[in-house]
Every structure is written in C-alpha cells, then in structure tokens.
Amino acid sequence: MHTTLPLGSLGPVIHGYHENPFEVLGPHEVEYQGRRALAVRAYLPEADRVWVVDEAHGSMRPMRRVHPAGLYEALVDHQEHGSSHRPATVDKTASLLDTHTSLVPSPTSPPTTLSPPPATSYQLRVTYKSGETHTMHDPYAFPPMLTDYDLHLLAEGTHWRSYERLGAHLRIVDGVGGVNFAVWAPNAEGIAVIGEFNNWDRRSHAMRKHIPSGVWELFIPNVPVGALYKFAVKHRGGHVVEKCDPYGFYAEVPPRTANIVNDLDAYQWNDAEWIRSRPQHNALDGPIAIYEMHIGSWQRDPNDPERWLSYGEIAPQLVEYCRKMNFTHVQLMPVSEHPFTGSWGYQTTGYYASTSRYGTPQDLMHFVDLLHQAGIGVIIDWVPAHFPKDDHGLRRFDGSALYEHEDPRKGEHPDWGTMIFNYGRNEVRNFLLSNALFWLDKYHVDGLRVDAVASMLYLDYSRNDGEWVPNCFGGRENLEAIDFLKKFNEEVHLQYPGVLTIAEESTAWTGVSRPTYVGGLGFSLKWNMGWMNDTRRYMHKEPIHRKYHHDELTFSLIYAFTENFCLPLSHDEVVHGKGSLLDQMPGDLWQKFANLRLLYGYMWAHPGKKLLFMGGEFGQWNEWNCNESLQWHLLKWHSHQGVQSYLADLNALYQREPALHQVDFDWFGFEWIDCHNWQDSVLSFIRKAKDPNDYVICCCNFTPVPRVGYKIGSPEACWFEEISNSDSTFYGGSDLGNGGGIQAKPEECHGRPACLEVTLPPLAMVILKPRR
C-alpha cells in the first residue's frame, strides 16, 4: 500500500513508544492533485474494516489497511469538511489511493501550514474481528486541553489547582463529551490509557507527551462516569507496568487497583453557614475537643461483623453521638485510598481518591456535610511523609525514581519499608501541596493533621551512622522538607483562612506552631507528645509509687507554652500490645475506672487542645483492632456508662468555661497553687480566661486516699461552687466531695490571701469556680 507516512514513524506508533502519536494518527491536511485533502489515519489492531463517516454530508468512505498491525488511512476531499481555525502541519505527498502493494516512504519536502477540520466533522465506523460494529469519534482529532501556562506552573511547582488539570476530567469538546486524561511521567517511553472502554488494550489509546514538561495527555470521547481505567506505562527498555492515576479521584475496593472516572463537582453542598463561621469554630482561643476515629471499626453491622459500614450509614449515628458527647471536631484516620487495610490508611497510593471501602467520593462529601450542618468540624489525617512500594502506586512510576529519591539513604524509610518523597523536586512538591488544598476545596475539611512530621525534618531519622546523607551544609536537617512544610502552611492559611494544620511532631524542634515569618514551620497546633508520654508513664504506676515520679506531671508546664499544643491520647496509645487506656490503669476494677476518669479530668484541665481516640470515651477493655467494632456492648455496665457520662460532661464544661480554653498557649492562663506536694501526689492550679477574674481552681488527687480538710490557697475569700467532680456517683465514683461548694476563708495559704479547705476524693479531680 502506498502511504504518506515515513516508515520511521510506524514502528513507534505500533509498538507504543511514540511521544506524539498525533503526528501520525488523526486528521492531517495533504495536497493531492493540486488541491487540499484530508488524510485520516487510525491505529485499530482489532479492526476488520473501518470507514470514515461524515454525517453532515451523508457520506461514508472506506479506510485502507496500510500496515498489517492494524494501521488504516483514508483520503477525504477537504471541501466536504470545510475549514477550521486550528493550525496543523500538511503532508505534501502522493495520493493515498494509490494501489501499490509495498510501503513507500513519503518525500521529505518541507511542510505547509494549513487548517484541519473540527474534531467532530467525522467519525470512525469500525467492524471488529469479533463481528461487532461501533461508530466513534476519533480521539486523535481533538486538540490538547493543557495550556502552556498549565505546563509552566506544573514545572515551576506552583499549580495549586493541578488536580483540575491532571488526572481524569470530564470535558465537552465541540459538543462531544468524554474524559481528558493527563499524567506526569517525563522518563516514560510511552503511556497509554487502558480501561473497560478499550478492553484494557494498551494499543488503543496512546497518549501525547508535552515536551519538556513530561506530561502526557489524551482526550477520549464517550468515556462515561464510572468507567474503570489505568495507565499502561512503558519504561525505557520496553517493560510495561500498569499504574494507578496519581490524581485519580476514585478507585476500586482493594485488592483491586483500577481507578474510576468520577465527577466530584456533582455533589451539592449545604454547609455554607458552617464555612462562613469556620474561623470562629477553629479559633485557637476557642474550645477544640477532637474525637479521633477509624471509620472502618467505629461500628460494624451486628448481623455481618465483617462488613464495613458506609459513610452514609455512619454519618447520622456519628452526628448524634458527637452531639451527645459534646465533641467539637471529628478527626478521621486517613481516608485516602490505600491497598493494605492493616496500615489504617497511613500507606497511601491514591492521594486524591477517597477510599472506596466505605462508599463513593460523594458519600464522603455527604458525611462531611452532615457533620458541618450539626456544627461539628472535620479534620483528616494527611500523610506526605512516605508512600508504599506497591507496583501500581507511585514508586518508580515512569521507570525512574520520580516521586522518591534514587539514593535509598534519602529515598527509603527503614522502619516502615516505604518510600520518602523528593521534596526538592518542583513537580513532587506541587503534587503534595495541591493535594492538601484539594481536600480543603473538594471535601470542605476543616483541618489537616500531618503525620510523622519528625521523620520529614531529619535526614538521620531512625538511621545509624553511614545510613544517611547530610544536607549541603553538613547538617542533619532535611532542608527541602522544611521548606515544603513552610510552604504548605503558608498556602493553606492563605487560601483557606480558619483551617487548622496540626503537626504530629515528637522531637524538640522549635517553632513548629509559630508563623513562618518568624522562622517557624507555620502549623496551627502541635501534638504534645512529651505530655502524653510522661502522663501515661505516671498513670501506669501504682499510686503508692507515684510520689517518686511527681516531676513527670509537673515537667510539662516548663514547656507548655513554647508551642500551640494539642494533648493527644490517640490510636497510637492503644495498639501494638499497649492495651486499652482502661486496661493500662493500675489497681483493682474500681481503681482502674477511677484512674481513667482522673486522667481525663487532668487532661481537660491542663493547658492545650484535646484529642481522644474512639473507645476511650467509654472505657473499652480491648486494645483497638481495625478489623473489629468497638465494644459498644460494655455500655450496659454502669462503670462504663459513668466514664462516658463524665467525658460528655467534661466536654460541656470545657466549652462552657472560658477559663479552660481561652488562654491555652500563654502563662497568663495558668497559675500553680501547689505543685510541690509530691508526698501526697496532689496537684492544684488555676486556669484563667482572658478576663483574669474569670477563673477556676483545679485539684487532683492521684492516690486512693481521701483527703478531708485539705488546704489550698485561693485568690479571694468567697464561695466556690464545685462544678466538676470525677468521683460523683453519676460517673461510677464513691460520691465523696464538697457538698456542692465551699467557702474560702480569709487566711493566707500558699502565698495567697485566702484558703480553701477542700475534700479531695480518692483518685479524683475536682474543679471549683468562684461565685461572688
């Protein structure tokens, strides 16, 4: 067959490594017998016969097979189609209709720029070897959607809405609906879109590479919402790997790995009032009591305990429960797609896809929407520190170390067996920063808790000598990651004022929650891991030994105001053999419950925002298991009901009393009354609101010995109401207390002008408020 195509262009198209198959396939202007004509070419390996259909003119012209692999072309009179405004390159060649039996290279005459017809001016009618016949638009007749400005911003690392351009997006072009696919893989030899719509045949839809950006793109007509797809990535050397879309919005339920075309804009939100008032709900001088939860194990279907409940099933129950318990926010363990359920979501493959285990993206949006309408904020865990090695994920995406470092001393995490992002690469930074903004934009989340920040900050994190590479100054600080975290916080706070960013950072790095303009990392809050570890270690000890460890309680106030701290009792405290919080408490059954209530009372009175993992609020006995429901049946026992009621009342008190939440991050909001009574294991202190006359007195007795007539200093001689007592019979306690209140005497005590003689119940905390 005589063809206009140079022989050198056929192999790359047929074997899937042509960087721009549009140079060969689709419509091309040619000059034929002194006039312009349209050469239409298509690569259809499974076709038996192909026609070019011009519905506007009622014509159908057969295409000729010019290569046995399935390359077809036809010549159509240009006048049948009219002209268009889009420029193209013309092949000045011999007729396509010559009937020579061998392939003849085209001459090398210089091209002439003419104008091809619109993409919709023709269709392809294909009869396949199977006997089926379909009519379709030619994907190689459509222009690229990505602009030079998009590609510039992506390469620069500042395309904050890259998720609106890369990935799979529904588009209408010249009246034809379909999906535009785009993926960054600069070192790939070729990429094809595979899916249900082409029988997973990588020969059908080879993509065009934008040079030098390395972004591949293709618009495929008539691909519907719900279609399954992947990218077939051909590495240098010919190895082909099927990869998930890094920007995919939805995926199959694991262990299946295909992405699913989804329209995120189809959901209609009803939380405008919440969004307007979010800065007040998330204010650092307001109450923030966070309920951390794992969606897959909060509750299960009693009739089918192996089944995950859906977002839609959980949302109404969760709203009702959080209202009952007076939590202000819910924090979800990672909801991005992850292959291994046992990772709890912390080994993410689909950073832009909400996990399909519990429903569709729209189901998760509805989940967030319902919580917002109920006045409850939603925080999600975000994991930019590492990603897993699964073949369908980001690792060696285009055959090279694209998202990670090539050197394992910088690119692999030794503890978790995962890969570390290359934060110094613009496109990788853009991928992650855009992802953070994506969850705020598309899912309306109110905060991002950033996991494993310490592992990002230090090049030698969990590494021995010789296992890490110093930075350019010879230090151990990961300068690229530090810059990334600062930029993350700057963009989040700039574009979404009032959103919280929370760092899980376990070292003494300074300024984690200080603004970047004073040298900080810019987070809103930092988890107080020091308080958590010291307090748990203290509470694990038998009360008779606690007096020798009194400093483990008081030490936290030495650094309590160096950061904006959140006090966490998270999932990490109830896994890996640690047991539940209740089971970690010493003593007999009664003392275990009393110790747990005391721990919560002390935590809620201590400066800092609050976070508690699910199950702790009612005293679950078992260590948390992500494959089982919480032990809700325990609530038939009064002791568990008591813990739950105490925590609900603590949350209500915390929100009601400005002294407990307004000044969490400054000495102005805290005063010791007596921190030195180590012999009795008693602490007493004052919490103050912005108005110093609005305060409460907090007293903790960490022994089972009741202390009647215990003297503590008071700022004034007035009546003090007992507004909280963890030993109340309503909470399962012994009901020892101060009869509703006590009068302070005008006697100096602890350097203060008045004295309170209080009754301190065993293993309990009481809170007193002046009533003048």
Active-site choice (54, 217, 451, 617): 451
Active-site annotation holds for 164? no
Count Cα neighbours of 428 within 13 Å in the Cβ-side half-sphere: 21
Q: Which of 337, 404, 504, 649 is catalytic?
A: 504
Tracing tokens 């003593």 back to the chain, one arrives at 587
Q: What angle do CA 553, 557, 558 make, to 5 degrees?
A: 115
- The angle that helices 311-325 and 638-656 make with each other, rounded to 10 degrees, is 70
- Token pair 């600069």 is found at 186
Question: Would you say 590 and 625 are in contact if contact means Cβ atoms under 8 Å apart?
Answer: no
Rounded to whole angstroms, how far apart are CA atoms 334 and 382?
6
C-alpha dihedral, 420 to 422 to 424 to 428, nearest 10°: -120
Task: Find the DSSP H helices in 560-679.
Answer: 581-584, 589-605, 638-656
Whose CA is closest to 373, among 238, 442, 270?
270
Which residues lie closer than 8 Å to 520 by C-beta, 6 or more apart?
A: 510, 511, 512, 513, 514
Element (H, E) at 275: helix 272-281
Structure tokens at 317: 């129950």
DSSP three-state, residue 45: coil
Centroid of chain to Cα 472: 31
Nearest to 387, CA basis, from 415, 342, 420: 420
The verdict on whether 150 is a catalytic residue reads no
- Alpha-carbon distance of 211 to 508, in angstroms, equals 45
CB atoms within 10 A of CB 132: 10
Q: Is 6 exposed, middle or buried (0-12, 13-18, 19+ CB in 10 A)?
A: middle
**Are 614 and 291 within 8 A, CB to CB?**
yes
Reported in sequence order, the residue ranges of 198-303 that DSSP labels E, i.e. its strands, are 208-210, 215-221, 228-234, 240-243, 259-260, 289-293, 300-301
Q: Residue 264 contacts by C-beta under 8 Å, 6 or more apart in sequence?
A: 249, 361, 362, 442
DSSP 474: S
Contacts of 708 (CB under 8 A, 6+ apart): 759, 760
Tokens of 299: 């509750």
The residues that are catalytic are 451, 504
